[in-house]
A = this chain, B = another copy of it.
Amino acid sequence: MTELAELPATPGAARTQGRPRSSRAHEAILEAVLDLIEEGTTVEALSMEAIAARAGVGKATIYRRWAGKDELLLETLVKLKGPPTQPVGDSVRADLIRLLSVVGQKDQRAVRVMPCLMPEVSRSPEAYRIWQEAITEPRREVMREVLRRGVTTGELRADLDIEVTVSMLISPLLLHRMVRWNPRLDEVDDLTEQIVDVVLRGVAG
- A interface, CB within 8 angstroms of B: 40, 42-45, 112, 115-116, 118-119, 121-123, 128, 132, 136, 140, 161, 163-168, 171-172, 174-176, 178-185, 188, 191, 194-195, 197-203
How far is it, in angstroms, between the C-alpha of A199 and the C-alpha of B199 when the chains are bound?
Answer: 6
- Chain B's closest residue to A116 (CB) is B119
Nearest chain B residue, comparing its CB with the CB of A160: B198
Query: What is the chain B residue whose CB lies nearest that of A136?
Result: B181
Complex contact A188–B168 (CB within 8 A): no
Residues in chain B near residue A128, CB distance under 8 A: 180
* List of 4 A-B pairs having minimum Cβ-Cβ separation, nearest first: A198-B202, A202-B202, A171-B171, A42-B44
Task: List 9 other contacts, CB 8 Å, given A121-B179, A140-B182.
Answer: A118-B119, A122-B179, A136-B181, A136-B182, A163-B184, A164-B185, A167-B185, A168-B172, A172-B172
The residues of B that contact A122 with a CB separation of less than 8 Å are: 112, 115-116, 178-179
- A45 — nearest CB in chain B belongs to which residue? B44
The answer to whether residues A202 and B197 also contact, given A42-B43, A118-B119, A179-B121 and a CB cut-off of 8 A, is yes
Q: Which residues in B have their C-beta under 8 angstroms from that of A119?
A: 42-43, 115-116, 118-119
A-B contact pairs, 5 of them (CB 8 A): A42-B44, A136-B181, A161-B188, A168-B172, A172-B172
What's the nearest-Cβ distance from chain B to residue A43, in Å? 7
Question: Which of A121, A132, A167, A179 has the most chain B CB atoms closer than 10 A to its own CB?
Answer: A167
